[in-house]
Amino acid sequence: MTHADTLSPDPASAHSSASPPLPLAQHVPVFERPYDWSAIDAAILQQGAVVLRALLSPGHVQQVNQESDSWLRDHQESEHPSATSDEHSDFLGRRTRRIHGLCRKLASVPALIEHPELVGWAERLLLPRAASILLNSAELIQLGPEEKAQPPHRDTEAWHRVERSTHPVMVNAIIALTPFTRENGATHVALNSYAWPEEREPLAHELVQAEMQPGDALLFRGDTIHCGGENRTALARCGLSISYCAGWLRPYENSYLNVPLEIARTLPAKVQDLLGYALEDALAVGGRRLGLYENGDPRAVLQVGKTPKPK
């Protein structure tokens, strides 16, 4: 039995003459406030993704947009990501700006990283496979005009040796800061694809777009196949991706370098934990501790006046 055999059946292959194929969902499930989080969690675990209407208020969206517009305007050298290869540049998008290290660039982002609804959701889905969670990445994504569609992929391909299971090891929330439409490249999602065999790629009709208004959020398992769409408009499409991973994984973003220690010391305690200044302590379930500093608690370096020194 392979790891895919332990998951939900593949709608395209798990049937015979005696059992008709399971119907493919035609849209991403949508939830309005007040959110039914038990239903949201179940939908993500079973279908792979949902859209939340109005996760952020209009005022909060305006604040993030003002900060991000100002930063992008003052840092034109960040026009394109510093990719490691032509293939990686094509994947990230040559007309797309991707900004990391947001805790030191946008004042409103730390509160979003520790957003109680997002963190609570991430912990419910990830803690069955870990003792803690980490910020995997906080990324501002500005999809430029005439940007090509991204290749369909799973975010968990970053950890290609980790087997997929009922519960994911990484989850992602893409918050719309501008409208996400079919025309400007709203994210495509292949529902149920977390259970597909590795070699299976989505057919065109299996990719559905998550259209959103500013403040809405697309929440999905990291092992769900998805991709940014083609921007066929003259305006940029902007979103904020906040993803979390199991505490024993190496995150996509290196927050120790992107967020200097003097700034990390000023952040809320929960954000510090998510950046990695907390132990992954699995002793209670027969595991070990990870993330030690000088064989002790990494929070020691956050004390003002305590500069890390080798012993």
Give me the tens of pLDDT residue by residue for the chain, a chain 311 residues long: 233 333 543 434 333 333 333 445 579 999 999 999 999 999 999 999 999 999 999 999 999 999 999 999 999 876 555 556 677 666 676 889 999 999 999 999 999 999 999 999 999 999 999 999 999 999 999 999 999 999 999 999 999 999 999 999 999 999 999 999 999 999 999 999 999 999 999 999 999 999 999 999 999 999 999 999 999 999 999 999 999 999 999 999 999 999 999 999 999 999 999 999 999 999 999 999 999 999 999 999 998 666 656 55
Report the 10 Å Cβ neighbour count for 6: 12
Spatial CB neighbours of 100, under 8 Å, sequence gap ≥ 6: 137, 138, 139, 253, 258
Give per-residue pLDDT as tens, 177-194.
999 999 999 999 999 999
As given in the structure block, the two tokens for residue 203 are 């057919």
Q: Which amino acid is at 149?
A: A
Q: What does the alpha-carbon distance between residue 68 and residue 99 come to, in Å, rounded to a whole number?
A: 9
Q: Residue 55: inside a domain, yes or no?
A: yes
Q: What does the alpha-carbon distance between residue 307 and residue 304 come to, in Å, rounded to a whole number?
A: 8
Q: Residue 268: inside a domain, yes or no?
A: no
Nearest alpha-carbon partner for 293 in 249, 261, 270: 261
**What residues form DSSP beta bridges with 212?**
180
pLDDT number for residue 90? 67
Nearest alpha-carbon partner for 172 in 211, 137, 130: 137
pLDDT number for residue 14? 35
Give per-residue pLDDT as tens, 106-149.
999 999 999 999 999 999 999 999 999 999 999 999 999 999 99
Contact between 118 and 242 under an 8 Å Cβ cutoff? The reply is yes
Q: Residue 300: inside a domain, yes or no?
A: no
pLDDT number for residue 194? 97
Report the 10 Å Cβ neighbour count for 283: 10
As given in the structure block, the two tokens for residue 197 are 């065999």
Q: Give the count of domains, the chain.
A: 1
Q: Which amino acid is at 214?
A: P
Give per-residue pLDDT as tens, 201-229.
999 999 999 999 999 999 999 999 999 99
Distances, alpha carbon 34 to alpha carbons 207, 213, 300, in Å: 28, 17, 40
Phi-psi region at 295: left, alpha or beta (left = phi > 0; alpha = psi -120 to 50): left
Taken as a whole, the chain contains a residue count of: 311
Q: Residue 281: inside a domain, yes or no?
A: no
CATH of residue 194's domain is: 2.60.120.620
Phi-psi region at 54: left, alpha or beta (left = phi > 0; alpha = psi -120 to 50): left
Which domain range does residue 201 map to? Answer: 3-249
Q: Residue 285: inside a domain, yes or no?
A: no
Q: Residue 111: inside a domain, yes or no?
A: yes
Q: Residue 257: inside a domain, yes or no?
A: no
Contact between 179 and 125 under an 8 Å Cβ cutoff? The reply is no
SS3 assignment, position 250: coil
Q: Residue 267: inside a domain, yes or no?
A: no
